[in-house]
Amino acid sequence: MVDCFRELHAHKDCTAYPHDFLDLIQERMIIVESKDKDPTKSILRIRSQGLRTKLMKLRDQCREDKSYYMAPTSRVPAFQPLAAVKAALNKKALEKVRAIPPIEKMKYLRFHTGETRTTIRRKSGGDDQAS
């Protein structure tokens, strides 16, 4: 997925608007939430109100500056890969993993060494956090 974002950022016609929108998606939306011993380092997805605010700012910038969405510009994405997240798989995910032939598992599922974070479990239907 990181390569896909890189390709989109590298497109010759990419303007500042899609760059900013891609950054928002990659850095705040399609991430695994995780907690850290230091709460200021915990990683959370953007909530709907925060997303609405960000999207309105992007819209306002388009209204104020035509070049923001019209002038192609190159930008090296600032995205830094996050530490791996240790998470318990749900029943459906476990079934899918168990169904993968062993030779295929070796090809796609690798052991991880290094820093890891712990996932944050959320109660269904709300923003309440539970460890």
Written as tens digits, the pLDDT of the chain (131 aa) is: 778 888 999 999 999 999 999 999 998 898 878 877 777 777 888 999 999 999 999 999 999 999 999 999 988 777 676 777 777 788 998 998 889 888 888 777 777 777 777 777 655 444 433 33
Neighbours of 122 (CB within 10 A): 14
Give the model's pLDDT for residue 58: 97
Give the model's pLDDT for residue 128: 39
pTM for the predicted model, two decimal places: 0.66
Neighbours of 93 (CB within 10 A): 11
Q: Output the CA–CA distances (angstroms, integers) from residue 101 to 26, 60, 111, in the order listed.
A: 31, 51, 17
Name the domain count of the chain.
1
Give the model's pLDDT for residue 123: 56
Q: Give the CA angle between residues 43, 47, 48 to the nearest 5°.
A: 160
Host domain of residue 105: 2-130
